[in-house]
Chain A
Amino acid sequence: MHIHIVKRDKLPLWKKCCFYLAAVLAALVLGGVVLLSIGVNPLEYYTRMFTMGTMGNPIAYRVFENYLKDFVPLVLTSVALSLAFKMRFWNIGGEGQFIMGAISAAFVALKLGPSLPNAVTLLLMCLAAMVVAGLYGLLVAALKVRFGTNETLLTLMLNYVALYVLIFLGETKADWNFFLREDSVRPVFASFSDWVKFPAFSLGGRFTLNICVILTVVVGLLVYLYLKKTKQGYEIAVVGDSAGTARYAGMKVNRIVLRTVFLSACLIGLAAAFKVGTAGILSTAITNDVGWTGIIVAWLAQLNTVAIFLVAALICVLHNGSVAAAATFSRVDSSFANMLQGAILFLVLAADFFIRFRVVITKKGGRDNG
């Protein structure tokens, strides 16, 4: 018997979805086995997880608000990364760009916030975060374009440089360091939530919808249109498909790469501004790993803007749900979510294989080789 793999022709969408669904289910079953082994009823646990503990919860609206707080930066970062990935520019520097954006936004909020109207401060925060994050990404793109520097490894390194800058600001007590609270002996980030905050609208009940959510949907829609309908989006598609062809067509490929990476990093900066502006304070864990998770989301969604929203929503349910479930099931650590997320991803990656390839088993021909 001989096992052999061959490339498939295109598979219809519904079949693809079935494969992915099966992968997710298989991961849940695997997780269920782990849960059973430590004496937890998987059905109860999963129910609690997927409802994020909203069932019978008098403050369920809060859960949704918090859920959206996590969802906004993740989905925006994923959308941003997909822009760069479309050009086959492996920007895995989302973390670093996010941090740079967050620091800049906090800088504006702390320095200018008290003397400016809320709306102006917020606008300036977004702008500052976008420009600084954008430049941080542009630096790598420039080196890649000019010298062919490996962008995967370089953005990876710059993530940590940014992270330690943030930690430095968070742990250094000094006169110049206005990022910290003055009235605390221990280094603690200063809060600016008293004077700067993204407004939220009440939708009848107690649930309030933050403007960031609306803006994020708008940005998502704009990016979708940008990629599908505009000349610049067309250029990205051509460059990503074949840089040689783009050059031949008279496109300034380097400029397109620089522009797109800058835009990608800008949007990550915007995500950071939304995050900081909603939280009202910096933190060394401000990214909540969106730079990493965003890569996975963008990839799983195959860089499709609509799919990114769906995948990001699902991943956020996983994270928030497991925290909620951990409160009830004390035996299950909240790190279970990471394991489950890993298992889902592994199985989805495996399912992807069966979507792209077909396995052929030839039974005969088992003869000896000379």
Chain B
Amino acid sequence: MSQPYAIELKGITKAFGSVVANKNISLNVKQGEILALLGENGSGKTTLMNMLSGIYKPDSGEIFVEGKPVSINSPEDSKRLGIGMVHQHFKLVDVFSAADNIWIGREKAGLRLKKNRFALVEEMIQRFGFDLDPAKKVYNMSVSEKQTLEIIKVLSYGAKTIILDEPTAVLTVQEIDKLFGVLRRMKAEGHSIIIITHKLNEVMDISDRVAILRKGEYITTVDTRETNEQELTEWMVGRKVDLNIDRPVMEKTRPLLELRDVTIRNDEGALAIDGVNFYIRGGEILGVAGIAGCGQKELCEAIAGLRPIEKGQMIHKGDNIVGLPPKAIHEKGISMSFIPEDRLGMGLAPSLSITDNMLLKNYADTKGPFVNRKQGRADAENVIQELDVVTPSTETPVRRLSGGNVQKVLLGREIKAGPNVIVTAYPVRGLDINSSYAIYNILNRQKQAGVGILFVGEDLDVMMALCDKIMVLCHGRLMGVVHAHKTTKEELGLMMTGALDLTDKYEDKPAGIAKDTRFGEKEGEEEA
């Protein structure tokens, strides 16, 4: 008899209210293999895996571990069955040391908390081949250290099957390489690994087999060696999609927004943006690439006037607008929309209706003490119609909409104000490919209308296809501005990690400074 599957799912169904997240899914993982679980966001990957980790319970279906039927009612059950999951949002106790975070889940920890737990954990860390200080507090750790700790944690509990939920989302290219090395070693030691991702290159790189989900349904499982990215995409999306994003070529105008030697601090008072130069012309999309936390958020906030600019200048159509309040900046036609990780935290009030969300930036413009909801309702109807927002009515709370529709509402509101500069961060975060294309089209239409767009993105492939130019940030410093159609992913990756600095590539023109700058225009006029 052949070896039983490490894990086998049969006919798993899970619904949240009226939304079916997983529909009759059957798949399996062999012992000692790396299975990639591929699917777009919202395809039900995380939900499915959370039924293995004991967070959710399936409505129907069966789970087998090493051939035996099991019922997983809690993370405790899951742990006992040798299943460990590294969640996308780390589950660590911030004020505890690394060792204590491991110790809380240890089976035979003994009653007394002995000092030697640090040594024991240290030994374990070395045995697994990692490098981490067991006494380091989690709140002092970097993202990749936290991830390492999560993996050590799972291994230390004797997990035979390890599930990783989008582990590469927060890592640099180099860190991803290191992680994949670890995964290959674990596989060699006989662990079975499930890695959730929607990045095709990673799937091709690391996995033995790929299981594909689409809209909550199981599509197929294939051997990685016998497939290619094009085929996987088709399965994932369901129909052949044009992987090319439009990049209309526009006539250049003089810079609309220029930042010169700008320095910004983050909430902790550390330098978030350190002497950065760049400019945006009308009719172009400037991409901003960088690993998570390299200052993108602070930059967006500063442009919108939400964060003070410590040093440097911000020139909009020849006017210095440093120090203006957010409202004044918005009135100048600079719009900022930022989609945070939880998607609803900034830019929208999730419990309020679409109408009320439309009013967010201009509710104060009318006279008198009352809010003009008539106007809001009209705007809401417009946006719903123009951007095909799927909603029961204008009075539906935004939180009830699906991700794509939420983001359409957000962008719709920004566009309706007729801005000349759009700053948009992660506008396709968490969206499926079709919704993403809808958003790209919206942006391209604005670009064609002469608007300058700053696009802060995550996916390099998308940025290389959509943007005209890409500026790269690393730890708050500008590493250079490159033409999107000329650059390569490798080049961008090296710049993102700080290994390549192109700011002085052209001797006559430092990166980020326009030759037809509008800098000093106003002052010059005054002098003249």
Contact = CB atoms under 8 A, between A and B. Distances in A.
Given A8-B17, A229-B370, A369-B70, A242 B57 contact: no
Contacts of B66: 370
A243 to B, nearest CB: 9
A7 B57 contact: no
A230 interface: yes
A232 interface: yes
Contact of B326 (A250, A362, A370): A250
Contact of A232 (B326, B348, B369): B369
A58 interface: no
Contacts of A234: 356, 359, 363, 371
Contacts of B330: 250
- List the 5 closest A-B pairs by CB distance, nearest first: A250-B326, A241-B349, A250-B327, A249-B360, A365-B71
A230 B369 contact: yes
Nearest to A366: B71
Nearest to B19: A9
B81 A369 contact: yes
Q: How large is the interface on A (under 10, 10 to 19, 20 to 34, 35 or more residues)?
A: 20 to 34
A7 B17 contact: yes
A241 B350 contact: yes
Contacts of A247: 306
A332 to B, nearest CB: 44
A238 B305 CA distance: 19
Contacts of A146: none
B360 A231 contact: no
Interface string A211-249: 000000000000000000111111001100110111111
Given A250-B330, A369-B70, A231 B371 contact: yes
B344 A242 contact: yes
Nearest to B304: A248
A2 B58 CA distance: 12
A7 B327 CA distance: 39
B56 to A, nearest CB: 9
B188 interface: no
A15 interface: no
28 contacts: A6-B16, A7-B17, A9-B18, A230-B369, A231-B364, A232-B369, A233-B371, A234-B359, A234-B371, A238-B360, A241-B352, A242-B346, A242-B348, A248-B304, A248-B336, A248-B338, A249-B361, A250-B305, A250-B325, A250-B327, A362-B57, A366-B71, A368-B70, A369-B70, A369-B71, A370-B65, A370-B66, A370-B70
A363 interface: no
B238 interface: no
A248 B66 CA distance: 52
Contacts of A2: 57, 71, 73
Contacts of A362: 57
A2 B66 CA distance: 23
B72 interface: yes
Given A241-B352, A245-B346, A248-B306, 13 more contacts: A237-B351, A238-B356, A242-B346, A242-B350, A244-B345, A245-B348, A246-B349, A250-B326, A367-B71, A368-B70, A369-B71, A369-B77, A370-B80
Interface string A101-125: 0000000000000000000000000
Interface string B316-353: 00000000011100100000101010001111111110
A261 to B, nearest CB: 20
Interface string A241-264: 110111111100000000000000
B240 interface: no
Interface in B1-49: 16-18
A42 B306 CA distance: 62
Interface string B201-239: 000000000000000000000000000000000000000
Interface in A2-35: 2, 4, 6-9
B181 interface: no
A370 B81 contact: yes
A369 B69 CA distance: 8
B349 A369 contact: no
B373 to A, nearest CB: 8
B490 to A, nearest CB: 36
B311 interface: no
A248 B325 CA distance: 11
Nearest to B82: A370
B509 interface: no
B416 interface: no
Contacts of B344: 242
Nearest to B364: A231
Contact of A237 (B71, B340, B345, B349): B349
Which of A9, A249, A367 is packed against the most chain B CB atoms within 10 Å? A249
Contact of B345 (A229, A245, A365, A369): A245
B68 interface: yes
A7 B325 contact: no
Contacts of B351: 237, 241
Interface in A90-108: none
A368 B336 CA distance: 54
A245 B356 CA distance: 12
Interface in B388-427: none
A44 B398 CA distance: 51
B506 to A, nearest CB: 37
Nearest to B69: A367
A237 B361 contact: no
A8 B15 CA distance: 12
Contacts of A241: 349-352
B306 A231 contact: no
Nearest to A369: B77
Interface string B122-143: 0000000000000000000000
Interface in A315-370: 362, 365-370
Contacts of B327: 250
A244 B346 contact: yes
B251 to A, nearest CB: 33
Which of B70, B71, B330, B338 is packed against the most chain A CB atoms within 10 Å? B71
B370 A230 contact: yes
Which of B338, B346, B349 is packed against the most chain A CB atoms within 10 Å? B349
Interface string B55-68: 00100000001101
B356 A231 contact: no
Given A248-B338, A249-B361, A9 B17 contact: yes
A367 B65 CA distance: 13
